[in-house]
A and B are shown apart, each in its own frame.
Chain A
Amino acid sequence: MANFRRFRPDDLNKLSKCNLDPLTETYELGFYLQYHAKWPALFQVAEDQHGNIIGYIMGKLESSPDVYQFSEHYLPWHAHITAVTVAPEARRLGIGKLLSEQLETAADANNAWFIDLFVRSTNHKAIAFYKSMGYSVYRVVKDYYGDHSSDPTQSSEDAYDMRKPLKRDVKKEHVRDDGEKHEVDPSDVW
């Protein structure tokens, strides 16, 4: 039912199964192409037998800009999951997990310390998904999202910054057990 391969720009014409789902954001063309241009191996898709994209993951490898070197929020060399989504009809088949594992392998190969991501604190399914793969909350970014996904009366929503340590982090220095208690402002993350 599915093939895993690298994203290619033509896939943008086959995104409807994923992107018409309200939980999946659609970005400007340049955003997708930037990932394809800079980190082509970290932008992977799953396609069905008709060539429709039924899942994708966009990731990157980076560290905080040098100017933040001495900030307590400085992030060393790590991988980041910018987006991961699976079409509703293809969920719970392990596609999301496979895509994430591929990114982990690439991040390990690039000697990254950890993988991180932001997720809406009310996106319970996604949080369960990440936890099942060994991610944990590292900190809470207050009012990170400028809207609320389920409650229209609220004008913002917190994000969980979740992390999974990689092979390089032998001593598990980059994760913590009580991450939910560490609150930061959006201006502290970048």
Chain B
Amino acid sequence: MSSYARYARPALKSSVDVQLQTAFSDGNWNLVIRLADKRFKVLKDPYYEAIKICAESQLDGTADKCAVLVAIDELVRQKAAPDLDTLELYEWASADFLHGIDYSDALGPLRTRWVKANPKSPLAVQCLQSCLEYWDLVSAQQIAAALDKTYVNSGDRRYMFWSITLTFLLSISPQCSEQSRNVYCMLVLKQLERAADITENSAKLELTDRGLITEEEICLYYRVLLTHGTKEEFLTRIQSSRLGPLHQLKQGRKLLFWETLTALENWGEWDRIFDLCHQALSLGLEDETPSFFTCDLRAWKAFALAASKAKNEEAALGEVQNTLKKFISIKSKANAMYKKNISIALLETTFRLPKPILTPSPDHKGLTPRVVQISLFLDHCFDKLSAFDDVKDYVAQLSFEEAKAFMEQVLPKMLVDKPDKLSQVILKSLNCKLQYLLTTCPQMLSHHPSMVEGNNYQCRFCANLSSLPCQHCLKKIILEASDTYMQIGADKELLKSIPRLDKDPRLDLALVMGTSILKLAGLRQRLSDVDPSPLRNVNPGLFLQAVLLLDTQLRETPSDTGLRLLLVQLYLLLGCATYAHQLWVPMDVKRSILDALGPLFFDRITSISPGLIQGGRSFLEPVRMSYSTSLADNCPLRIWDAFSTGSFSSILSLTEYDSRLRRSCTLVMTLIEERRAIRCYGGKIDSEIDDLPLAADIVDSTTLVNKTDYGSFPNLESLHGLPIQDFIRLGPELSNERAHLSFLTEQYFDILSYKPPKDYRPVKSNEVAIRERNYILECLDRLSNSLTSFIHLPETPSRLTSPEMTYYSVISLLSAALLTGISTTKADPAPKTLQLVTSSIKSALAGLRASLTVSTPSSLPMGDVFFSLSDMHTMSYARDTALAIKHSAAFVLAFHEKEVARDRSGKSSLHKDVVAEMKALEVVSTKALGEIKKHVQSLKEALGEGGWLDRMLEWTFGDEGEAEDEVTEAVSDVVDGRGGAEEWAGKVLESWREGVKGWGMARWD
């Protein structure tokens, strides 16, 4: 994986003559070989032979390259301490074909051997560094231990902690053998306990003592304790006056406090959490000048939660309130951020109070302390950008009576109290958002047995029969939001003051309208695993209205990334990939944030519009490159920096992060989408997926991790339902299951296109043919098992769209069919199961095909064309499935032909049933491909016809001249009517046309 270009060519020993030095530094390898050979013969110094071998390794021949490996092997066998300069040369010369594994078998042990023989040499550290670069933890640990032993009395504690850290890393690494794991666990724990005891028991610690002194050392100790120690040990140690989190806090260090809190939360140690938070928060009140240093929201929340779980809940919560009161009394001295934390802590505590305390007086039904607290909070920060986010989770917890009081008494009163125009519109916009939030809370409905199917509930606000969300309430919200929106636009004074605000209130209003309309259109969470495309059951007109409205708003507020991200998703859903891309680009998602944000655009992109990443326009290149750069070495990026500065907790976090990044679902997605795009256009795939360095660590047992970041999505939903991204995505997000299935599928295609290396000319063709068959069968057997097990994981159906599920099931069936097919020769009994498998394949394909709406350009029923354009995903998987079947059948038939030609006896040719089944599959898949191609063709033709702009506007607003319903009217107001929508309609159309054009150029054979 390493590229030796990164490794500087080592300097030769200074005793080497100038001529050879020059030739070496010039890279004049033939001359180096000649000179080194000569010197070796005269001086008999093996160093010159090593120079020669290394120079040879720079030549092209395979044998020349191998010589260095042989030489290394020889050194390993000699058991003597090697010469370090020779080692350096060999390491450099073999860097190109040395992987971590080989290193720990050869160069690592050699370096260790050298250090053990020369422990005092300043070069020993270099050996450690080298082992770390190759992430050879076994050797690195041994070297560090040897260094620690050497310098134990020197007062240089660096080696001690290197040794401890490496022992710990090894003890949790797969590189550690199971026999030695226990030993290392004990060892590291003992070493650190000893150090901890020194710290506890010394009157004064010198910087040369072998105790725990720095924050990094102390945190390392606790991490090890958490991993290898007992809970009791941990709980005892955190009480320590010198090594506990409180002592650290007093010195202004928070890391240990957070880590302790996490550990206690994981154990559910509520009493201890209560004490810890109480003490930590009280620290700020001890001095004359108060400190808000510990007033983080997390500390307050943990404090309140722990209190609510205490035996004497009331007393404990009373203590929380007491502490809060003390802070409130000095709040004026606090930074705005802490003021806010304290206000939210007050809300949090109120929501933790036991129910009886919360009951209001009968004449103020609903106006509970919870409602009062929310209103107090909003009273002074209703106009802040984050006001809604801050109260949202609390409002969603209110009972219906409370919510009613809040909406019908509190908010209207605020409107009266803040009569200035600006406050009015901000409050109205907040009101709309809160109303929307409540439509996502089930407690706002009551059960109501009804005749109308699906509406078994009654909305307690509007009394209409409803399901969640209440359609009547949604409509009401849309109308109100639109009113306020229009009011702002018509008021010059307001317009002038908007730039002074944190945010244009119209943005929020548009978001509320947009999401409400999406819900009205029927876009909801996936109800079952076999749901067809998300748009299949929506009302296209309403859906388009929502998109148009949000798009119009984006033109007003282009820098709002939340809205932009939302629209990118909606356009992908709509099948407008090129337009989605135009919106995506300005966000400049690049480098280190691609892993988390890349999926928001690139996931499933080839199933929507492969044309977008076809050929030279490889938008995925930067994504792949960012992984190649970050994962170029075997070791975690920047690990040596952390070692050299003694940042032990960073060493651990960098290691964890590296392991996670190598198992990133986004990484797999990138490789897969690129290959799918290439395949779609008949391009050449350079290497088998297994041979890609980036995929080197992926095996079936690897848990692939999805870390997509949805943090910037506007989210008006309550925690009772799904966040918005989950119902506007084309399908389930990236997952371990999907990543593995797609990866295995690529491996399957690699088998189908397997060709023996060109320069390989076998002498005994029969033997080779047998070996090849066995190889193929072995691969198929393994793949078929893996695919079957992933397909049958209980979670899998919920991780895939239904076309994907069909596709991967077919691939799994195909691998089984091929396995049976190729292993059944003429001489064998008829393969009984094969027909069963192939008929499953055929019916799966037929099912996918049938779900494609056939559109007839002449009649153009809105539904058909709209659904087809917005569901390229199904078409894409129908095509992929048909192609996979076709190629698989062709593979078996070609295999058969080859055997017939090779073995005239006919014994090794395939069974006639196999041949017949495969031919049948070929026919079926060819036919399906023809039909799917025609489907695309007819879409293209349809889009080529005239009158589309009008048609789009009709789809969106209904027939011209017909009366518009209220919602349409409201949207129409905001977007400035049909006229205002024309440009947008043109863009959507253009993007559809481009997408279909891209599909038209795809390969269909």
| A interface residues, Cβ below 8 angstroms from B | 1-6, 8-10, 12-17, 19-22, 26-34, 36-41, 46, 48-52, 88-90, 92-95, 97-98, 105, 109
Contact = CB atoms under 8 A, between A and B. Distances in A.
A26 B258 CA distance: 27
A30 B661 CA distance: 13
B255 A6 contact: yes
A122 B400 CA distance: 52
Given A22-B559, A89-B385, A5 B255 contact: yes
18 contacts: A3-B298, A4-B254, A8-B657, A15-B592, A15-B709, A16-B597, A16-B712, A26-B592, A28-B592, A29-B592, A33-B637, A36-B653, A41-B253, A89-B502, A90-B386, A93-B335, A98-B335, A109-B252
A90 B712 CA distance: 13
Given A26-B593, A89-B385, A16 B709 contact: yes
B298 A10 contact: no
Nearest to A43: B650
B951 interface: no
Interface in B618-636: 626, 629-630
A50 B595 CA distance: 19
B337 A2 contact: yes
A155 to B, nearest CB: 19
B664 to A, nearest CB: 10
A37 B255 contact: no
Interface class of chain B by DSSP: helix
B420 interface: no
A20 B337 contact: no
**By CB atoms of chain B within 10 A, which of A26, A28, A40, A49 has the most?**
A40
Interface string B329-363: 00000011110110010000000000000000000
A17 B254 CA distance: 24
Given A1-B340, A3-B296, A52-B711, 11 more contacts: A15-B709, A21-B561, A29-B637, A33-B654, A36-B642, A36-B653, A37-B639, A37-B642, A38-B641, A38-B645, A109-B252
A9 B709 contact: no
Contacts of B826: none
Interface stretch (B123-131, B438-446, B582-590, B800-808): B582-590
B781 interface: no
Interface in B574-612: 587-593, 595-597
B247 to A, nearest CB: 16
A15 B712 CA distance: 9
A1 B641 contact: no
B712 A20 contact: yes
A16 B301 CA distance: 25
B435 interface: no
A43 to B, nearest CB: 9
Nearest to A105: B252
B706 to A, nearest CB: 10
A181 to B, nearest CB: 34
Interface of B: 215-216, 252-255, 258, 296-299, 301, 335-338, 340-341, 344, 385-386, 389-390, 502-503, 559, 561, 587-593, 595-597, 626, 629-630, 637-639, 641-642, 645, 647, 649-651, 653-654, 656-657, 660, 707, 709, 711-712
Contacts of B712: 16-17, 20, 52
A8 B653 contact: yes
B254 A16 contact: no
A19 B254 contact: no
Contacts of B215: 41
Instruction: List 9 tightest A-B contacts by C-beta distance, closest first.
Output: A9-B657, A37-B641, A37-B642, A52-B711, A94-B335, A13-B596, A3-B296, A20-B561, A16-B712
Nearest to A94: B335
A178 to B, nearest CB: 32
B593 A94 contact: no
Contacts of A8: 653, 657
Nearest to A102: B252
A31 B626 CA distance: 13
B296 A30 contact: no
Given A20-B561, A20-B712, A95-B337, A26 B588 contact: yes
A9 B654 contact: yes
Nearest to B385: A89
A28 B629 contact: yes
Nearest to B651: A37
A1 B344 contact: yes
Contact of A1 (B299, B386, B651): B386
Given A1-B344, A37-B645, A15 B593 contact: yes
Contacts of B650: 36-37, 40
Contacts of B389: 48, 89
A29 B335 contact: no
Contacts of B638: 30, 33-34, 36-38
Contacts of B299: 3
Contact of A89 (B297, B386, B592, B653): B386
Contacts of A28: 591-592, 626, 629-630
B301 to A, nearest CB: 8
A52 B340 CA distance: 17
B294 to A, nearest CB: 10
A109 B503 CA distance: 39
A2 to B, nearest CB: 6
Contacts of B253: 41
A132 to B, nearest CB: 13
A36 B651 CA distance: 9
A9 B737 CA distance: 25
A41 B593 CA distance: 22
Contact of B595 (A4, A13, A98, A105): A13
**By CB atoms of chain B within 10 A, which of A8, A33, A92, A94 has the most?**
A33
Contacts of B336: 92-94
B596 A12 contact: yes
Given A37-B638, A92-B336, A13 B653 contact: no
A48 to B, nearest CB: 8
Contacts of B590: 26
Contacts of A51: 711
Contacts of A31: 592
Contacts of B639: 37
Nearest to B252: A105
Contacts of A14: 596, 709, 711
Given A16-B709, A33-B637, A50-B711, A1 B337 contact: yes
Given A22-B588, A29-B629, A38-B647, A16 B561 contact: yes
B625 to A, nearest CB: 10
Contacts of B335: 93-94, 97-98
**By CB atoms of chain B within 10 A, which of A3, A10, A48 has the most?**
A3
A27 B336 CA distance: 30
Contacts of A3: 296-299
B20 to A, nearest CB: 31
Given A2-B341, A28-B629, A98-B337, A49 B297 contact: yes
B910 to A, nearest CB: 50
A34 B640 CA distance: 10
Contact of A19 (B216, B593, B642, B660): B593
A3 B656 CA distance: 23
A168 to B, nearest CB: 18
A26 B589 CA distance: 8
B337 A16 contact: no
A106 to B, nearest CB: 8
A8 B650 CA distance: 8
B390 A12 contact: no
Nearest to B648: A40
B345 to A, nearest CB: 10
A3 B344 CA distance: 12
A6 B254 contact: yes
A145 to B, nearest CB: 16
A119 B593 CA distance: 23
Contacts of A2: 296-297, 337, 340-341
Contacts of A50: 711
